Structure 1
Amino acid sequence: MRSMQMATRVAKKKTRSAAKPASPRAAAKRTTAVKAPKKTAGKTAKKFAAKAAPRKATGAKGSARPAKKPAAKPAAKKPAKKADPTAPRPVSSGKGPTPTEVGAGVVEMLKAGKPESEIWAKWFSPKLVSIENMPTGGLAWHGIKAVRAKGEAWMQEHAVHGVEVEGPYAGATGFAVRYTMNIEHKPTGNTQSMTEVGVYTVRNGKVVLEEFMYGR
């Protein structure tokens, strides 16, 4: 009887416990205990998967660049040859008419009897320098005005009765003209034949220097 009663009691307890609904608190506790796994594990796995996955090439920027070739070394320059100190160097009279052309023009006007003022205006520089070998030593006149004054002072004491002009003898930087003159000295009336050579330096088509050399 006791065993049946005990069995009945145990069965009733089981039935009660099975039939008795769970309280909200108990249900909440159970739900909390049996929660679904957090989603963070899934996110972390996705991140690792994304990092591990190879990236796709994005156009020309993503494509692999060819390796640069090393720049070619410039060819070694040959050492410049040393100039021969005894070798000749080029010489020029500058721009404009050549010494030959200037000399030809001067001689042509002299033979035609043109006045010195016209010859100077066409072929001589306003900064002309004229050199004479005087008994007291060499002298130089600077500027066309000074040269003109020198000529006027000489003509006051001398008269030219005849002149022959030879040339021009042209060079790289100038020309020369040979003059043979019959001269009278006015104060004394004495006459003499005199030969002189005028050497003219040309720069940029104009005579910039003249020097007169006398024969003995």
Structure 2
Amino acid sequence: MTTMEIANQLVALCRQGKFDEARALYADDAVSVEAGAPPGGQREAVGLAAIEAKGKWWTDNHEVHSAKIAGPWPHDDRFIVGFEFDVTLKPTGQRFTMEEAGLYTVKDGTIVREEFFYAMGG
């Protein structure tokens, strides 16, 4: 698939709330990089299994009430997707809105790298 085909498919799956199914677009050795490390975790997850574990941590700790997905915005072998989530942090019950941008890099028809950008507070 082309970068734009992958971008459109990722956005379509995310808009349907099928984030787990979107993993089929990733290379087995893909890398995911967060702006900040989750509690007890690392900023970088290497490999599809580590990315899936990071996703499981997210769903175990957050209740998503709604999601808005914007984009994709392509640029050569990369594209950006905008996300806005209305979530509740399960351990504390704190509800908040989270906005982030994901920068995805495609090589040989799969996503090989994703990097997330969001406000870290302070």
Task: Decide: shared fold, TM above 0.5.
Answer: yes
Aligned mates of 1:207, 1:131 — CA distance in 2:
13
Task: State whether residues 37 and 43 of structure 2, in contact with CA within 8 Å, keep that contact through their aligned partners in structure 1.
Answer: no
Match of residue 29, structure 2, among 107, 115, 127: 127
Distance 1:210 1:135, change over 3 A: closer
TM-score of the superposition, structure 1-length normalised? 0.51
- Superposed CA RMSD in Å reads 1.7
Larger radius of gyration: 1
Q: Give the alignment partner of residue 86 of structure 2, picking from 182, 192, 205.
A: 182
Q: Paired residue for 2:76?
A: 172
Note the C-alpha offset of 1:135.
5.7
Q: How many residue pairs end up in the alignment?
A: 117
Q: Could you tell me how far 1:164 is from its partner in structure 2?
A: 0.3
Equivalence for 1:99: 3
Structure with bigger helix share is: 1
TM-score (norm 2): 0.87
Greater length-normalized contact order (CA 8 Å, ≥ 6 residues apart): 2
Q: Could you tell me which amino acid in structure 2 is paired with residue 126 of structure 1?
A: D
Change (3 A) 1:189 1:148: same
Query: What is the match of residue 156 of structure 1?
Result: 60
Percent sequence identity over aligned pairs: 33
Q: Report runs of 4+ in structure 1 exceeding 6 Å deviation.
A: none
Matches of 1:152 and 1:115, distance apart in 2: 11
2:93 is matched by which residue type in structure 1? G
Structure-1 separation of matches of 2:23 and 2:37: 27
The answer (yes or no) to whether the contact 1:103–1:175 under 8 Å persists in 2 is: yes
